[in-house]
Every structure is written in structure tokens, then in C-alpha cells.
Amino acid sequence: MDKQHVELNGRTILVTGSPGFIGANLVLRLLGALSGGTVISLDNMNDYYDPALKEYRLGLIEEAAKASAVRHIFVRGSIADKALVFDLFERYRPAVVVNLAAQAGVRYSIDHPDVYIESNLIGFYNILEACRHYPVDHLVYASSSSVYGGNKKVPFSTDDKVDNPVSLYAATKKSNELLAHSYAKLYDIPSTGLRFFTVYGPAGRPDMFYFSATNRLKKGETISIFNYGNCKRDFTYVDDIVEGIVRVMQGAPARATGEDGLPIPPYQVYNIGGGTPENLLDYVSTLQEELVRAGVLPADYDFEAHRRLVGMQPGDVPVTYADSAALERDYGFKPSIGIREGLRRFAEWYKAYYG
């Protein structure tokens, strides 16, 4: 699909889910790269994980904003609050919206379905409605590799059928794509969905495996390696994710009219993945080596005594592997940061943050 260039400098950009993990890194990138404009961060700062990490990221953003030519505004609230969302759009009229706000986590969705419906469905609907009534140049939103479910064909392609989610989280993300497509068709809203593949990095989410494993190892506890180590993940370092998002923001699906006189949906979905699926045991070994190197764990740490191989968890899949060729073709971007470099940066941050 043809792309329409979207200028970011001097514009108003709304990033929901900042200061969440990806959102905070995106806002920091925009504050450092743009020469003017306004970036609005919206997040409810919930306690799904330690809110101190979100406060820490918000502090980084506020410090960066002091040295930036870009104005930053933080709004504490939920995208499920329709009145708040509409008030933001009425007041600031964002040209670009990046919706990263969502209740994350596959396993958490098994026991806490309500928050996924509220944030991922009702909240996303509110964003779409606001983009309908206050037209935007581009809506970019987070989907997930989870939509591929138990897909046996690898690498995962956006041309694959994704009608069999194995978790409620995955079902809500697929629903986001369907809702965005219908709004693109009905209201001519240029929208791009991004299927993220296992994002990791400094100041990430403590519920993600690399972070929770580090916490457990530090306490001398045992970590569980699922599917008896026969898992592969397309780990994607957060800087690669942010680079992909920024490029996509600047190229919206072009509007066009079909033979029926109605809009051809200006809609696209892409994978963003590391492109090299890593065996979970290799990933864990690299993590342990980097934790020792950074001084988080002692040099004589007995790793074998602190890990056990267990079966697959409900809602999980054995392999995730992205076919990101379309992203490279349309935006000239391919993730480049390997797990050794990425985990080294995480381990060094962890040592500095926790001591």
C-alpha cells in the first residue's frame, strides 16, 4: 500500500501507555529527536506491576523534557474514560496518535479478564471514536505476536490466518485490528497496527521472563523454564521497537477511493520482531552470564541448582518468529540488536537501579 508522509516536527503527538515500558522509550526518543511540537503522555499508572518503575520512567521523561525543544504534557488517566479521552482530543487536537495503553500479559488474562475488556476493548474503542470525531493524520497502535495463537507455520506472516487465539489477551489484540479496520473503512482513518514480539530491555516490565527470572535468581530462588526448554522466542530489544514505531508514524497508509465510491481502508498491519528466534535455554544462559558480568550475581553462582525444566503454561505457545519483510520493504527497517548486547544493557541497568 502507498504511504502518505506524516511530518512529526511541530505537531501534537499523543502517546497512550506512557510512561509504560515501550511508551516511555518512545516519548524519550521523540523528545530527543524532534525540533518542536507537543508530546502528550497518557497513562493511569496502575499497579499491575510496581508503580515505582513507571514513576522512574516518568522522571526520565521529565528530565529529558527540560532539555528538549518539544513540550511534554503528562495526563494521569485511563483510555477507558471516554470523557477524558474526548477532552484531550478537543483540547490538543493531536495529529498523530500512538496507542500503546493496554492491559498486558497472557497469563494474567486467565484470572483477570475484566481489566482486559475495559482497557483493550472499551479503551481502544474510545481512541477510535476520538480519531473519528477529531480526525488524525495517523493512528498507530500496538497489537501482539500473541494473535498467532498456536500457529505451527513459521515464520509468522501477517498473511496467516489468526482466528484461533489461545488467550483472552490475544483475542483482545486481534479485536483491536478488526475494529481499526472497520473504522479505517467507515471513517477513512489511516491506521497501522504493529504486532510486537517479546520486547525486552532496561526498565522493562517485571512480569516479563528475563526480568522476573533476574529477580528470582538475585533472591536465590529457582526459575522455571517452560516446555522443558523447548521454547523459541523472537526477542526484540526495546530500541528496535521504538525505531520501528517512529518510522511507521511518519508513513501512514494513503487514502484512496474504491470503485464503489467508498474509502479503500487506509489500514495496514506489520510484524516487528528480532528476526532470529532464540532458544529459551540459550537466552537464559546469556542472561546469567551478563548478570555475573554486571555484578548482579556472584561469579560462582550455581545456575543448575536454581533452574528447573517444566511443562508449558496455559495460554503460552512454543515458538514465536516474525516475518518482518514487509516492514523492511515499506520502511527500510530491520531490527539489529542481538540478545547479548540487549541483555548486557539490561543487566547493567538492573545493577545501577537496584544496587
Active site residues: 169
Contacts for 112 with CB less than 8 Å, ≥ 6 apart: 103
Helices 168-187 and 124-133: crossing angle, nearest 10°? 10
Cell numbers linked to 34: 524532534
For the chain, what is the total number of helices (H) and then of strands (E)?
12, 17
**Backbone torsion region of residue 295, taken as left when φ is above 0, otherwise alpha when ψ lies between -120 and 50, otherwise beta:** left
Quick one: CA dihedral 186, 190, 195, 199, positive or negative? Answer: negative
Pairing of β 3-5 and β 251-253: antiparallel
Place of cell 533476574: 214
Give me the amino acid identity at 113: P
Are 328 and 203 within 8 A, CB to CB? no
Q: What are the CA-CA distances from residue 345 to residues 115, 237, 339 (Å)?
A: 32, 10, 10
Rounded Cα distance, 227 and 231, in Å: 6
Q: What are the CA-CA distances from residue 329 to residues 23, 237, 243, 323 (Å)?
A: 25, 20, 15, 12
Give me the amino acid identity at 258: G
Residue 210 dihedral angles phi and psi, to the nearest 5°:
-60, -35
Rg for the chain, CA atoms, rounded: 20
Instruction: Residue 79: name the closest of 121, 27, 142 by CA.
Output: 121
Rounded Cα distance, 99 and 78, in Å: 12
